[in-house]
Structures are given as C-alpha cells and as structure tokens.
Amino acid sequence: MTSSDTRKSLVLHGVVLVLLFAVQFAASDYMTLTLTRMMVLAVFAMGFNILYGYTGLLSLGHAVFFGAGVYGAGLTIYHLGWPVPLAFAAGIIGSAVVAAGIGALALRTVRDSFMILTMMLSQVGFLLVLYFNTVTGGDQGLSLPQASRVFTLAGASVDLAQPVTRYNIAFVLLLVTVALSFTLLQGPFGRVLRAIRENEARTEMLGYDVRRAKFFAFVISGTVAGMAGAAYAILFGYIGATFTGIQYSIEALLFTLLGGAGTLLGPLLGTVLMTMLIDRLSEITSAYFLWLGFILIALTLWFPKGLLGAIRQRWLPWLT
C-alpha cells in the first residue's frame, strides 16, 4: 500500500469518526442510547475482526473475552467497591489473561478443531458464571450499585446516568480502538498477520515465528473484546451470564461478516446495520434468529467478503 492510499484511508476513517461524534447533537435520547450500545458492540466486533479478518483464525468463542471484561469490571465494582476507572482496567487485564490462557491452548489446533475448541472453552466460561452464581449473580445477573454510576476522573465528575456522557465514553473507546488497529494493522505486524492469513506454511518458511504471531493476535483480539465488555458493564450498570453465551460469540461473527471481515470499519458498519435489523425484526417476530440465519446464508453466497469487502474489491482498493 502506498502512502497516498494510506492518506485516503485515514481521511475516510477520520470523516466517519467525526460524523459519529457529531450525531450526538442531533440524536434523540433513545437514538443516543442505541448508538452507544452499537459503538461498544462494534469495538467487540473489531476485536474479533483482528483475529478473524486479519489473521484468518475463526474463533467461535469470543463471548468469553467480552464476558471476562464484563465480569472483571463488574465484580470488582460490585464486591470490592473499586472505583470505576480501576475496575475498567481490571476488566481489560482480566480478559487479557483469559485470552492468553485460552490462546495457549486453542492455538495448538487449526481450522475446525480450533473453532470447536474456542467454542467449548467459551462455554466453560459461561458455565463457570452459572456455577458460581452466588458471586456472579448467575443468569439473573447483578445490577451495579448506584454509587458506581458517578465517579471522578482527573478531577472531573463523570455521571454515567447521562446518555451523552455514556455516548462520549463509548465514542472515545471506538476512537482508540480504530486508531490502535490502524497503527497495528498497517504496520509490519499487520503484514505478518495478513501473510499468515493468506498462506501460513509459506510464512513460516520465510522465517516468521508463526505461532508467536498468532498468539499475539489472539491476545490482542481477546483484550479488545474484553475492553468492550468492561465498558458495557460500566456504562449500562448490569452484568449477566448472557454476555458470555454463544449468542454473543455468533453476533461478533455476524457483525463482522456483514460489514466485511478484514476491513477496519466493517465491524462498525455490520454492528450498526445488524443491531438495527435485530431491533426491527424482534418487533415483528419472535423468530428473528431464523431470519439472522437466512441473512448469514445470503451473505456467504453473494457477499462472502461483506459489504465493505465488496466495495473494496469493486471501487476502493485502498480501503483498509
């Protein structure tokens, strides 16, 4: 990729982010809330995409990292009364540790076995949450105490009951994720990941430590997903077992596939479209999962590269 391509791509990402920031001045409270949720879930999907879209490793258990973030932040607030910023860090670190552990195990396998193993290990997380329901609240979940809805950060008081505050926290999270991903994936490490995705055997024979690179990608991917989980718990004040369930793993995959795996903004676009769709569908029918299944089939048949993937192929080859 040439430097002018990078510049075009940077401008596009900048414009999208500026628009997203500006939306809050025009949006209703409901819209603001929905977008906040979308942005946090988009960060989750972006984390997933680092592993799937850029490294070519399909994990079917990313909910466990999201969940590790949710519980890392939520439980430290609920039981230990940690201040919000510290609990947020605990969520991130917790998910990084979980990702390192699961990665060390799962990366011993490839393809189908890798998918099955990540899914199983994720279910272990889900079942642990249920098993220790006296601590975690099980599938009933826990509401975080009101006291944790207001905290001070660098002298400023932050009130999480304010939709606009939550919106901007989610926005900053998204901004940081996009910036980090851009730097990481456009640089030498991104080249290694793409090389592994395209041809693992060849990459090893060019002198790359493929196992180590895959492990790093796995941990980064899981940590970003966990960061989204920690933010979700803090912003919405609720933690529950569903966050570690298979549904969340599949949603990360769906969002990414729809928007375009291996594109930076694909997960964001996919998350926005898909959550809107789920909202509409669930108003009409209780069988909305059936429709999601049809969408997934249609995607694989006609848009295997997702919306942004197709756009990149046809019109915007410089898209990152």
**Comparison of 37 and 194: residue with beta carbon closer to another protein:** 194
Among 109, 140, 199, 285, binds another protein (CB under 8 A): 199
What is the closest distance, in whole angstroms, from the C-beta atom of residue 6 to another protein in the complex?
12
3-state DSSP assignment of residue 213: helix
Joined tokens for residue 146: 């009101």
CB of 216 to another protein, least distance (A): 14
Q: Which is nearer to another protein, 175 or 310 (CB)?
A: 310
Shorter beta-carbon distance to another protein: residue 115 or 210: 210
Dihedral angle sign, alpha carbons of residues 218, 97, 85, 72: positive
Strand-pair partners of 142: 239
Other beta carbons within 10 Å of 26: 8
Of 27-35, 160-168, 192-200, 278-286: span binding another protein (CB under 8 A): 192-200
Return the sign of the alpha-carbon dihedral for residues 195, 196, 202, 207: positive
CB of 53 to another protein, least distance (A): 13
Separation between Cα atoms, residue 57 and residue 217, nearest integer Å? 9
Distance, CA of 4 to CA of 215 (rounded, Å): 32
Contacts 24+ apart (CB under 8 A), 160-166: 160/84, 160/234, 160/235, 160/237, 163/29, 163/32, 163/33, 163/36, 164/24, 164/32, 166/32, 166/33, 166/36, 166/235
- Output 149 or 194, the one with its CB closest to another protein: 194
**CB 210 → another protein: shortest distance, Å?**
7
Contact with another protein (CB under 8 A): which of 162, 198, 293, 298? 198
In the complex, the smallest distance separating the C-beta of residue 84 from another protein, rounded to whole angstroms, is 38
Tell me the Ramachandran region of residue 56: left when phi exceeds 0, alpha when psi lies from -120 to 50, beta otherwise: left
Ramachandran angles phi, psi of 158, nearest 5°: -115, 125
62 vs 214, beta carbon nearer another protein: 214
Q: How far is the CB of 70 from another protein (least distance, A)?
A: 36
Binding positions for another protein, 41-100, rule CB under 8 A: none
Q: Which is nearer to another protein, 1 or 298 (CB)?
A: 1
Sign of CA dihedral 2, 4, 5, 6: positive
Instruction: Identify residues 202-221 at the interface with another protein (CB under 8 A).
Output: 202-210
Exposure pattern of 248-284 as b/e (b: 16+ CB <10 Å)? bbbbbbbbbbbbbbbbbbbbbbbbbbbbebbeebeee
State yes or no: residue 313 binds another protein (CB under 8 A).
no
- Closest approach, Cβ 257 to another protein, in A, equals 18
Choose which of 192, 252, 269, 308 interacts with another protein (CB under 8 A): 192
One character per residue 171-190, x = contact with another protein (rule: CB under 8 A)? ----------------xx--
Residues that bind another protein (CB under 8 A): 187-188, 191-192, 194-195, 198-199, 201-210
